[in-house]
Amino acid sequence: MTTTQRAVLIRAYGGAAAAEVAQIARPAAGQGQVLVRVRAAGVNGIDWKVREGFVRDAFPLQLPAVLGIELAGVVEAVGAGSSRFLVGDRVMGPLGRLGAYADFVAVDEANLVRTPDSLDDVHAAAVPVAAVAAWQSLHHAGPIAAGQRILIHGAAGGLGGYAVQYAKRAGAMVFATASAAHVEYVRSLGADRVIDYRRERFESVASDIDLVLDYVGGEVLDRSWQVLAKDGAIVGTTSPDILARTPAGRRGLWLMNQPDAALLERLAAEIAQGTLVSKLDEVVGFDDIPVAIERNRTAARIGKVVADFSR
């Protein structure tokens, strides 16, 4: 049995070339862990933010570090004290840390769920972080009530597509920003008013907003304070410095996704049954992960990008 494996890692912070395919030691399952043979892994915005060092204060790393935060695969071995899964079980979930872009990954079994039979590994790998984080961000500022006005930035992306569906289910009036090519898709998810951000400024359309879900960051966050209702809030997932950028008298909250196996199991079942839409934008091979990470930084997309490790 080989003792090494493929991995996508960074040795130093930097641009597109900083992420590379390399060989590293194959891990073993520790206490309360299972060793997963990874079949697919989701590509996320946090990959390039970590790569470039933008979130080094929020996520201190010892370099070199393997990138990737969610996976789907098969249990290869079971560590001491682990009892939820057996060798051969198909599983999916977030790591709760970095390291998913490797052929074998030791994962805390508490973070994993069994993959529904009708969900293949590529589609399963698109779910664990975005579906759960979207739910958590929607409820992070407090309960959602019917009739609330919610603005979702980046509504066609991985988190945004789920958030539109969750907010509409809760009876909210949903405003959403997206590129022109993605307007109809976002509308199909239930958004009441989709704003093509290249043609319209959302400030001229949305007002008295109770909750802004900011999956874009940058100047979009800074422009969003003016559309809030008096007691409104912005929940951000892309700007660790949101608290420092929150004007006096306003409410800004930073969300760090937390693994929630029970919630993931429920959402994965809905996706498998077809009652919750999960959209794949692109499937790439293992060696193409560094390029896919950079594309995540530069290009708008619908849904998630997933790396298929068999390619």
Task: Examine residue 56 and state whether it is found in any structural domain, yes or no.
Answer: yes
Same domain (yes/no): 145, 110 = no
- What pLDDT is stored for residue 301 in this prediction? 84
Domain holding 298: CATH number? Answer: 3.90.180.10
Quote the pTM value: 0.93
Same domain (yes/no): 169, 219 = yes
Same domain (yes/no): 107, 190 = no
Same domain (yes/no): 152, 243 = yes
Same domain (yes/no): 250, 155 = yes
Same domain (yes/no): 296, 244 = no
Of 231, 254, 277, which residue constitutes the final position of a domain?
254
- What pLDDT is stored for residue 54 in this prediction? 85
Same domain (yes/no): 246, 263 = no
Domain holding 210: CATH number? Answer: 3.40.50.720
Question: 71 - beta bridge partners?
Answer: 41, 93
254-291 burial, b at 16+ Cβ within 10 Å, e below that, comes to: bbebebbbeebebbbebbbeeebbbbbbbbbebebbbe
pLDDT of the chain, 311 residues: tens digit per residue = 689 999 999 999 999 999 999 999 999 999 999 999 999 999 999 999 999 998 888 778 999 999 999 999 999 999 999 999 999 999 999 999 999 999 999 999 999 999 999 999 999 999 999 999 999 999 999 999 999 999 999 999 999 999 999 999 999 999 999 999 999 999 999 999 999 999 999 999 999 999 999 999 889 999 999 999 999 999 998 888 888 899 899 999 998 889 999 999 999 999 999 999 999 999 999 999 999 999 998 888 889 999 999 99
- What pLDDT is stored for residue 14 in this prediction? 96
Are 76 and 54 in contact by the 8 Å Cβ rule? The answer is no
Domain range for 247: 141-254
- What pLDDT is stored for residue 225 in this prediction? 95
What does the DSSP assignment read for 249-279? T-EEEE------HHHHHHHHHHHHHTSS---
Same domain (yes/no): 203, 301 = no
Same domain (yes/no): 249, 262 = no
H-type alpha helices, the chain: 45-52, 121-125, 128-139, 158-169, 183-188, 219-224, 261-273, 289-298
- What pLDDT is stored for residue 290 in this prediction? 98
- 252 C-beta neighbours (distance < 10 Å), count: 23
User: How far apart, in whole angstroms, are the C-alpha atoms of residue 204 and residue 218?
Assistant: 19
Same domain (yes/no): 34, 99 = yes
- What pLDDT is stored for residue 1 in this prediction? 64
- What pLDDT is stored for residue 234 in this prediction? 96
Same domain (yes/no): 100, 158 = no
